[in-house]
Structure 1
Amino acid sequence: MPRLLQRLSPVLALFFLAPLVGEFFLGDFPIVTIFLVAVFAPMYGGAALLIREFTRRGGRGWPTIILLGLAYGVFEEGLVTQSLFNPHYLDQNLLDQGHGVLWLVYVVSLHTYWSVSVPVALVEEATPARRIRPWLGWKGLTVVAVLFVVGSFAVYNTNLQLNHNWMASGPQRLGTVAAVLVLVAVAFLLPKPAPADEYGAIGERGAHGQHSATHERGATGQRGATGQRGATGQRGATGQRGATGQRNAPHERGPARGDRMTWDIGAPEETDATEQTNATEGNGRAGNSVGALSRGGVPSGWVTGTVALVGGLIFKAGLIMPVWSAAVAAFLVGPAIVLVLTARWSRRVGWGPEQRLGIAGGTLLTYSWAAFTAHSASFAIDLVSHVIYALAAIGLLYWVARKMRTPDVAPDVSEG
């Protein structure tokens, strides 16, 4: 049982963190309704897990996760709650006077970045040995998919009752389905990232958390002198790259905590170490990517976190813009700044867990301060709720930072 819990710990964490961030840290629900996390978890957590698992199984990275998060946002708000079409959704008149476009961009962005991307990023950083590996086998994915369908239907049925059985028209529903399918297709048609794009030469640290001067790791987990792997290209028995560049089986790490695995993040049943190594080295992508890396410096995690906070501030400023077009611009520009800078910095040598946690943490804390402007209960309950949620967010970031520095083992998930 402890081994099973260890293997499923990131799954359970993401399953419950997604609704906690997506609905509660946002400020929509007071602390007295915290039990509703379990109600929202099958839909929110199920979606985040499915997005993350299919992305990592396909050897893809954050562009795919973000696009699938966007598809999820369109799915939820177009088909489940139908808020994109209901002019009197929860008696809020969200679609009046051009506000339809404003609401579309705003609410879909909330799901893309906060309901999906932030929870995925935080849980992945808390499990460094499994950060870009699948966490579930096909049986586990099937269970999650069933939970997602059941949870989505439950939320759909509840919204029907709350909105007097209002239903979107047939063309509206068909258009939503088409939009979701297009976004999913584009997400998986994007070029796969080369190994260095996601974690390879960028931000690789040796046993002491430092970058060495060259491109090969020696027996200590640092890079050696030649810029290439050893003569065999095979994995050895020790869990490290030694003088010959050998590695062990794909599911263990050596002492070098920061040394990430090769690009062997396909289906869990692919366990032939030699075949996986040859597949990633033989196509030449890794070498080309390393050569294409920028040698400029990367900012610290504090700087990337500040950038994410500023992007979130611009995004939330859209809510007080007097003109809806200016609000839409703020909703688009704020995240775009963060995405563009992240894409630029992540191509530089030195990009790593600290910087990624800064981006995720700054984005998360946007909800923490913005929640104090939300009202869902009495003033006293709201205030207590927002303080608790903010402290929980800070505690979560501290916990993730600690986990990033704690060695963990990537268990076999072929039967999960």
Structure 2
Amino acid sequence: MGDALAPVIGLFLLAPFVGEYLLGNLGFGQLWLGLLLAPLYGCGAVLVRELGRRFAGWPTMFLLAAAYALIEEGPVDQLLWNPSYAGQDLLHGPSYLPALGMSVELTQAILALHAVWSICVPIAIVETFVPARRTTPWLGRTGLTVVFVLFTLGATLVFLGNYSEEHFIASPAQLAGITVVIALLVVAALRVRPRSGPVAGVAPSPWLVGVVSLLGTSLYWGPSVLITAGWYEWIGVSVWCLLVVSGVLLVSRWSRGQGWDQRHRFALAAGATLTYVWTAFPVKPELGGPDLAGDVVFGAVAIIVLGLASSRTRAEPRRTTPS
């Protein structure tokens, strides 16, 4: 029983670790918050992974991860619309859209941070450790029900805690609009079909995939945390669009190449993880001041986990696996 649930527990813990602590948003002084965030982050990642493995694999997971991002920062904690979230005005920059009461740059950041780092990166890393169960569901119907209930309770707890601090609720129109978008993403995720088509050449080296992932995610997230001047905001919006489109096209082509396997998927996740390792240092924590010790320790833990996962891929026979 313990071995069967090990990857579920691993994903449950890794999602909040990457999503908040490795990011640099929370430090040693907020370790207790992990207990409150794990049901939201961890159960969210498990639900995305389990549904993905029951439908079209990674295409389903990416769409559900985007839906998760909007759920967390929309109805749950209201960040998408709150002009004074955690004492900061993240909305009213150059890309603020008054008609929607939302910021283009902030919405893009939320989608990137949660869809990529909070959900997909932890899934890819944990799946690397369980090759025999990588593409199969880890939970049955009862387990899924329990995880969904915990996710709902976690989301409710975060909402109530946030409301007690912020006393902010978005307008009915804003909540209705985001609900429609989330529903469309979920429907698309469950209707998308596994990719098919001819092999597109030979897959590149996993090392090249990892380097491109590190450079691409650093090109987006690095300037976002290093350049705080308003003049960069629309440039950042353009960079996000360019990287998303080019990344989707590039990975889609690579993943249809002969020899594409878990080594490459892990390399994508590892590159993105290493971006968080270095960008955590200039990130200003949401609570408290800079936490250099936390950044160093959390970064070291992440590198150790990546090293263990990498050794696991090297021990596997070379074969192409389904997405």
Instruction: Please report the TM-score for the alignment, with normalisation by the length of structure 2.
Output: 0.89
**In 2, Cα distance between the equivalents of 1:110 and 1:341?**
20
For the residue of structure 2 that corresponds to 1:323, the secondary structure is: helix
Give me the whole-angstrom Cα distance separating, in 2, the residues matched to 1:117 and 1:156: 23
Q: Which amino acid in structure 1 is aligned with residue 29 of structure 2?
A: V
Residue 199 of structure 2: which of 289, 293, 297 is its match?
293
Aligned mate of 1:183, from 185, 189, 198: 185
The one-letter code sitting in structure 2 at the alignment partner of 1:130 is: R
CA distance in 2, matches of 1:82, 1:104: 12
Q: Residue type of the partner of 1:39? A: L
Counterpart of 1:38 (choices 8, 24, 35) is 35
AA aligned opposite 2:215: V
Structure 2 residue aligned with 1:103: 106
Structure with greater Cα Rg: 1
Q: CA deviation at 1:113?
A: 0.3
For the residues of structure 2 that align with 1:80 and 1:378, how far apart are their CA atoms?
25
Instruction: Describe the superposition over 1:81-125 as per-residue Cα deviations: whole angstroms up to 9, x where unpaired.
Output: 111111122221111133411111111211110011001111111
Residue deviations 1:142-180 (CA, integer Å, cap 9, x gap) = 1000000000000001110111x2111111111111111
1:131 deviates by: 0.7
- Quote the offset at 1:405 in angstroms: 4.8
Deviations 1:343-364 (A, max 9, x none): 1111111112222211110011
Aligned 1:1-12 pairs, distance under 5 A: 4-12=1-9
Matched residues in 2 for 1:95 and 1:375: separation?
A: 17
Distance 2:309 2:32 in 1: 24
Q: 2:143 aligns with which of 140, 146, 170?
A: 140
* Shift in Å, 1:134: 0.2
For structure 2, list consecutive stretches of 5 or more residues without a partner in the other structure.
97-102, 317-323
Show the counterpart of 2:297: 388
Mean CA deviation greater in 396-405 or 356-365:
396-405
The structure richer in helix per residue is 2
Matched residue SS, 1:29: coil
Number of the residue aligned with 1:401: 310
Task: Note if contact 2:63-2:185 (Cα within 8 Å) is conserved in structure 1.
Answer: yes
Q: Equivalent residue for 2:100?
A: none
> 1:378 & 1:74 partners in 2: Cα distance?
27
CA distance in 1, matches of 2:208, 2:2: 35
Which ranges of structure 1 fall in alignment gaps of 5 or more residues? 195-288, 408-416
Separation (CA, whole Å) in 2 of partners of 1:351 and 1:335? 21
Number of equivalenced pairs: 303
| C-alpha distance in structure 2 between counterparts of 1:331 and 1:126, whole Å | 31
Judge conservation of contact 2:8–2:46 (CA < 8 Å) in 1. yes
- Tell me which moved more, 11-20 or 101-110: 101-110
Distance in 2 separating the partners of 1:32 and 1:318: 25
Letter in 1 for 2:236: A
Secondary structure class of the residue paired with 1:136: coil
Where does residue 173 of structure 1 map in the other structure? 175
Match runs of 1:13-412 below 5 Å:
13-58=10-55, 60-97=56-93, 98-99=95-96, 100-163=103-166, 165-194=167-196, 289=197, 292-294=198-200, 296-316=201-221, 317-319=223-225, 320=227, 322-376=231-285, 377-379=288-290, 382-405=291-314
**Residue identity matched to 1:340:** L
SS at match of 1:184: helix
| 1:30 to partner: Cα distance | 0.8
Shift of 1:192: 2.7
Does the Cα contact within 8 Å between 2:59 and 2:194 map onto a contact in 1? Answer: no
Q: Distance in 1 between matches of 2:217 and 2:91?
A: 23
Write the distance in 2 (CA, Å) between the matches of 1:22 and 1:336.
23
Shift of the alpha carbon at 1:318? 3.9
Residue 256 of structure 1 corresponds to none
Determine the C-alpha separation between the residues in 1 that align with 2:315 and 2:13: 22
Whole-angstrom CA distance in 2 between matches of 1:314 and 1:357: 20
Q: TM-score, normalised by structure 1?
A: 0.70
Which amino acid counterpart does residue 189 of structure 2 have in structure 1? A
Q: Tell me the distance in 2 between the aligned counterparts of 1:359 and 1:338.
A: 11
- The alignment's C-alpha RMSD in Å is 1.6
Q: Is the CA contact (8 Å cut-off) linking 1:298 and 1:351 kept in structure 2?
A: yes
Q: Alignment partner of 1:168: what SS?
A: coil
**Letter of the structure 2 residue corresponding to residue 136 of structure 1:** L
Contact persistence 1:87–1:95 (CA under 8 A): yes
